[in-house]
Structure 1
Amino acid sequence: MSNTDSNQTSAQPSIEAVKKAAAEGLISSTAAENINAWLTEDRYALYRDEVIAHIQDGKWQKLDDVYWTIIPFGTGGRRGRMYPIGSNAINDRTIGESAQGLADYVVQYHGGKKDLSCAIAYDTRHKSRHFTELCAGIMVAAGIKVYLLDDYRATPQLSFAVRHKNCDCGIMVTASHNPPSDNAVKVYWSSGAQVLPPHDIAIIDKVMSCQQIKATPFDEAVAAGMVEVVTDEIDQAYFDAASKCSFDGPRDVKVLYSPLHGVGAAAVIPLAEKVGFKDIEVYGPHSEPNGDFPNVPGHVSNPENSVLFEAPIKHAQQTGANLVLATDPDCDRIGVAAPMTLDPAGDWRTFNGNEIGAILAEYVLSKRSAAGTLTPDSYIIKTLVTTELTRRIAESYNVRCEGDLLVGFKHIADVMDRVGADDFVYGTEESHGYLVGQYCRDKDGAVASMLMCELAAQLKADGKSMHDYLCDLHRKHGYHRETLINLIMEGSEGMAAMQRLMKSFRTTPPESLAGVKIAKIRDYSIATTTTVSTGQSEKLEGPDGNLIIMDLDEPGNYVAVRPSGTEPKIKLYVFTRLSPDQSVDLDQATATLKVRMEELEKDVRAYAKVNC
């Protein structure tokens, strides 16, 4: 009798119980299929007893949650809730498969190349260090040397380390801004960017077909010299490289900074001090590295959420700070708040990701223009769901904007390497990610924070608020207002609802939104633009992806729809704009677009409720 047959015999009562649960609707058919695999296949032998215990205890809802699908690779790697068992959970098996698949592909791709290497770093989340040691052991067992950042370090530092050490790949153990329950691995290629085609598909094939996970015990790998700690080396080299992205100017500004219980203090503070900033306070209640994110509202350290700035702003008002910055747990994204006037004790407001992107675009391009370092080949990069205000700012400096990109900073990195990094000026995406320079190939919260400090100091010297700075951009280029609507759809039922809603947008889209007719629909999955009034379609130039954009019959107003690649939700990006002539009176323009935005959000939510 084979091991598989023996396993099936010993697990037969559980197999029968799973079959009955599926028939009674307690679990989905896909969950039943995946549970049976974990009960009978040799590769899951270590987890069989715990699966059986869950079945015997009747934990069907939990079993359905963690087995209804196989956790995928998305825009940021493999990410999800941690649980000891399950194909749809982050655990030793799914993390191990991810690392093993990467190792197998790297070895195969390089065809016998010696001296293969991988850089690995981790953040403050629960089990990040454990998963790091597991990944390191798997790499070493495959003959791949590991360069380890052996302390909490930022994702951009991992990207930098891959390039600095000439590694063949990299792994960052982090779930970015997700809740404390989650963890993940982000997988990087030799460029320092997250993996792209054809490597991503090939790695996924290796992950999905992984049978045996081979790992060298971590301590043995260290003792053998196959895991080399390079934390100090990378720190010094990273700060030297990143500081070269700084611009000269005033440094007299008081800044309050929150790492949101993540890794950021080890990157943001040393870099800011290196370029001359002396008055930066780390916000005490958020300073402790802690995967529970205890003092953050909702325990979600996402700098997109303005509510997490409420307490730091109160502290800033009391201490006279001119700027509040926050970075997410792996410090690749930033959030920003500033006083509405020059009085720190007065009212404050946060900026959304599109606003920060536009502000930084203007600052970087203005400094580069003044220095005479822009050329006819200079360009910036943004994604399709990032504000067109950024494009218009670039065009005002006669700089090209590469903007037909899907969501994910890896696509920005890809353009840098295809078009040429020497002419790259700035990259931005609406989800609070920004990059300047060539030192890495991922968004960098530390460098973005440095640039925001520089701008705040310059504006303070000029007697101008950061909000006035943004208002000037709106008057010049037309008032732009955007919002993001997240429709959460968890579990197997949620996935089905997401698929129904995306199909509805494609086949029976709304005729109008906010009283404005939809003129055209861009469907990037089939590369077509359809004119709604005639039903005629034409070829759409651009990337191939699960993205729909509905252009309203008023230029600059549109809604983009896509399923998230890292979380169980559909994202709807709403864009509105008025012309410069309509934006002279900015108060009136703000009121006009506020009403339009509310109506658009009401209509798209109503459509989604009916069609999902």
Structure 2
Amino acid sequence: MSSLEEPVSPRVQDALKQLALAAESKLLTAGAVENIRSWLTENRYSDYRDQVLAHIDDQQWQKLDDVFWTIIPFGTGGRRGRMYEIGSNAINDRTIGESAQGLADYVVQYHQGSKSLSCAIAYDTRHRSRHFTELCAEVMVAAGIKVYLLDDYRATPQLSYAVRHLGCDCGIMVTASHNPPSDNAVKVYWSSGAQVLPPHDKAIIEGVMNCQEIKRANFQQALEDGMIEIVTEQIDVAYLEAASKCAFAGPREVKILYSPLHGVGEAAVVPLLQRDGFEHVTVYEPHREPSGDFPNVPGHVSNPENTAVFTKPIEQARAEGFDLVLATDPDCDRLGVAAPLTTDTSGPWGTFTGNQIAALLANYVLDKTPVARLNENSYVIKTLVTTELVRRIATSHSVRCVGNLLVGYKYIAEAMDREGPDDFLYGCEESHGYLVGSYARDKDGAVACMMMSELAADLKSKNQSMHEYLGALYQQHGYHRENLINVFMEGSEGMAAMQALMKAFRNDPPKELGGMPVKQVRDYQGQTITTLGETNTTAPLEGPVGNLIIMDMQQDGNYVAVRPSGTEPKVKFYIFTRLEASESQNLDSADVRLGDRILAIENDVRDFARLATA
């Protein structure tokens, strides 16, 4: 018997026999059996043993397999998943506690000899967020790390700012961003204010995986002793001051309807817009209540990428003469936008994709940035799966575009510090994340709201709609149209299917997509670029290492990217299409052409995925 295990009681022995029988009957996967056995026999899981035994007694094999088939990983945004009271593949006191303990142990080890370590912690409106926050704070204090707590619903970018402003060694944001109400998570930040990157992430994960004991202080006692200090008001004032410095001068006569989607955004967005001179800001009442159930949002999913969340706000906006509808996700780091198609606010409205917002804000920021601030080193940043229209806009303004980056805003933050924050102008990613200014190292929905409001006011003063403004960019740089396909693959079977699918794209990629020949395949995991032909040729690929494949078609600007999500059980297919500027002067016909092209590509991608995972 391992020193980590306790003597096995008769009840546990019986449960282990039932586990073996369930495995033989294919009711449990091998990973689930291994993890359940650990939770039944190892000392570190003793607090949860009775609950695991009760599930076995009730023969809840499917639930046990769901929550134990793997160990919940750190993805692009930290450790995220469905909440359940037990399970290595669920968010609960054990997995959150392990995450905090692994971080605390590494911070202490990394700063050996330092007498004063600190961590900033914030949380959103989700179920149990405040509970998990106390747990994380208690773990930090027990490790000798002082906690600066934003003890009210606050935005993720405010946490990033707080880490930098207070000189903290790390930070924790308790949020599952735009995930369903069933989920929660922790996002882990380093002293830069960015989410953890190599080598820190791997070392923290190692600490999490090897965590034996979760050591906790008493929250109330730590407050009294000053080891937990509440800094909500202090950070509110300082963040507002820093973020408002990103504003550009210009008109402010625009009427804004804003939805926090039941999240934290009102506390950041409304004060910032008011400080920037916007006097006509109304919070959309049905989405105003802070609630982890997201009760008035279609499907109870507060994601500004979902156009359905705008349906009701647009109805109010059209009826009451609003010029703009803005929405941020529950932790207010993502922005969604809707606006009238023309200058008639009572007429038809339309939403914008994350790529379109990225382009709109890129052009606005670069147009408004004073010439004195621009030099040969000035740059914008985007990820590999964000529209190339941003790069073309940057080039037209004689500005560099740093774009060879994996998905995840932490890579944009890393590029900011690598390239020099003084020359940074703007960062964006297709999943509705944007940043202007160097006060933080994460995307900021509040500042993005401010930029979009300024753009709307500027366009209104020129009698131009935002959709018309985007159309002019298409005519200048070529019509770009993108689409995202999410294919969900839940559980252990889903993971196997994802792996089979990625292997198929690497080893036997489609030769044609949407009637267009595939010219080459970029494999960022294998670091190869394969040119397709009668005999394929392979060469080294320069770029970041990650589980991402991009298939380039013969026509420039048309390609498909494939990657497993880092935060949800799904594979993402990003479809990019483009026409040359000469083919884009008639916007309606260009839109139809690319719409048909995207549909054809999507059908081929889905057929390929179906065969690869059959």
TM-score range, shorter chain: over 0.9
Q: 1:7·1:41 contact (CA, 8 Å) conserved in 2?
A: no
Q: 2:6·2:43 contact (CA, 8 Å) conserved in 1?
A: no
Matched, 1:519 2:519: yes
After TM superposition, the structure 1 = structure 2 runs for residues 365-384 of structure 1, keeping only pairs within 5 Å, are 365-369=366-370, 371-384=371-384
Give the corresponding residue for 2:71: 70
Equivalent-residue separation in structure 2 for 1:12 and 1:4 (angstroms): 13
Equivalent-residue separation in structure 2 for 1:447 and 1:484 (angstroms): 25
After TM superposition, the structure 1 = structure 2 runs for residues 433-444 of structure 1, keeping only pairs within 5 Å, are 433-444=433-444
Give the corresponding residue for 1:239: 240
SS at 2:501's partner residue?
Answer: helix
Equivalent-residue separation in structure 1 for 2:425 and 2:321 (angstroms): 33
SS at 1:262's partner residue?
Answer: coil
Shift of 1:523: 0.4
Equivalent-residue separation in structure 1 for 2:8 and 2:378 (angstroms): 62
Give the corresponding residue for 1:59: 60
Give the corresponding residue for 1:24: 25
Equivalent-residue separation in structure 1 for 2:130 and 2:218 (angstroms): 14
- Counterpart of 1:418 in structure 2: which amino acid? R
Root-mean-square deviation (CA, aligned residues, Å) is: 0.9
Q: 1:8·1:39 contact (CA, 8 Å) conserved in 2?
A: no
**Residues 271-325 of structure 1 deviation map (CA, whole Å, 9 limit, x = unaligned):** 0001111101000000000000000000000000001100000010111000000
Equivalent-residue separation in structure 2 for 1:367 and 1:160 (angstroms): 24
Matched, 1:509 2:487: no
Q: 1:481·1:575 contact (CA, 8 Å) conserved in 2?
A: yes
**Residues 145-196 of structure 1 deviation map (CA, whole Å, 9 limit, x = unaligned):** 0000000000000000000000000000000000000000000000000000
Ranges in structure 2 where 5+ consecutive residues have no aligned partner: none
Shift of 1:7: 3.4
Change beyond 3 A, Cα 1:165–1:3: closer
**Residues 181-225 of structure 1 deviation map (CA, whole Å, 9 limit, x = unaligned):** 000000000000000000000000000000000010211111111
Equivalent-residue separation in structure 1 for 2:482 and 2:367 (angstroms): 24
Ranges in structure 1 where 5+ consecutive residues have no aligned partner: none
SS at 1:372's partner residue?
Answer: helix
**Residues 358-394 of structure 1 deviation map (CA, whole Å, 9 limit, x = unaligned):** 000000000015x532111100000000000000000
SS at 1:246's partner residue?
Answer: coil
SS at 2:373's partner residue?
Answer: coil
Shift of 1:4: 2.6
After TM superposition, the structure 1 = structure 2 runs for residues 102-181 of structure 1, keeping only pairs within 5 Å, are 102-181=103-182
Equivalent-residue separation in structure 2 for 1:322 and 1:45 (angstroms): 58
Q: 2:98·2:214 contact (CA, 8 Å) conserved in 1?
A: yes
- Counterpart of 1:522 in structure 2: which amino acid? R
SS at 1:158's partner residue?
Answer: helix
Give the corresponding residue for 1:586: 587
Normalising by structure 1, we get a TM-score of 0.99
Give the corresponding residue for 1:36: 37
| More displaced 10-residue stretch of structure 1: 30-39 or 8-17 | 8-17
After TM superposition, the structure 1 = structure 2 runs for residues 597-612 of structure 1, keeping only pairs within 5 Å, are 597-612=598-613
Equivalent-residue separation in structure 2 for 1:584 and 1:292 (angstroms): 45
Shift of 1:5: 4.2
Give the corresponding residue for 1:348: 349
Equivalent-residue separation in structure 2 for 1:347 and 1:585 (angstroms): 20
- Counterpart of 2:190 in structure 1: which amino acid? W
SS at 1:6's partner residue?
Answer: coil
Matched, 1:325 2:326: yes
Matched, 1:14 2:19: no
Equivalent-residue separation in structure 1 for 2:4 and 2:231 (angstroms): 43
SS at 1:4's partner residue?
Answer: coil
After TM superposition, the structure 1 = structure 2 runs for residues 323-472 of structure 1, keeping only pairs within 5 Å, are 323-369=324-370, 371-472=371-472
SS at 1:85's partner residue?
Answer: coil
Equivalent-residue separation in structure 1 for 2:482 and 2:250 (angstroms): 31
Give the corresponding residue for 1:489: 489
Equivalent-residue separation in structure 1 for 2:594 and 2:190 (angstroms): 42
Q: 1:8·1:40 contact (CA, 8 Å) conserved in 2?
A: no
Q: 2:125·2:290 contact (CA, 8 Å) conserved in 1?
A: yes
Give the corresponding residue for 1:195: 196
Give the corresponding residue for 1:310: 311
- Counterpart of 1:242 in structure 2: which amino acid? A
Q: Percent identity between the aligned chains?
A: 66
Equivalent-residue separation in structure 2 for 1:531 and 1:392 (angstroms): 25
**Residues 583-605 of structure 1 deviation map (CA, whole Å, 9 limit, x = unaligned):** 11111111111110110111101
Normalising by structure 2, we get a TM-score of 0.99
- Counterpart of 1:350 in structure 2: which amino acid? T
Q: 1:123·1:154 contact (CA, 8 Å) conserved in 2?
A: yes
**Residues 465-507 of structure 1 deviation map (CA, whole Å, 9 limit, x = unaligned):** 0000000000000000000000000000000000000000001
- Counterpart of 1:584 in structure 2: which amino acid? Q
Matched, 1:566 2:567: yes
Q: 1:176·1:328 contact (CA, 8 Å) conserved in 2?
A: yes
Shift of 1:3: 7.8
Give the corresponding residue for 2:275: 274
Equivalent-residue separation in structure 2 for 1:247 and 1:559 (angstroms): 36
SS at 2:369's partner residue?
Answer: helix
- Counterpart of 1:118 in structure 2: which amino acid? C
Give the corresponding residue for 1:213: 214
SS at 1:55's partner residue?
Answer: helix
**Residues 59-98 of structure 1 deviation map (CA, whole Å, 9 limit, x = unaligned):** 1100000000000000000000000000000000000000
Give the corresponding residue for 1:474: 474
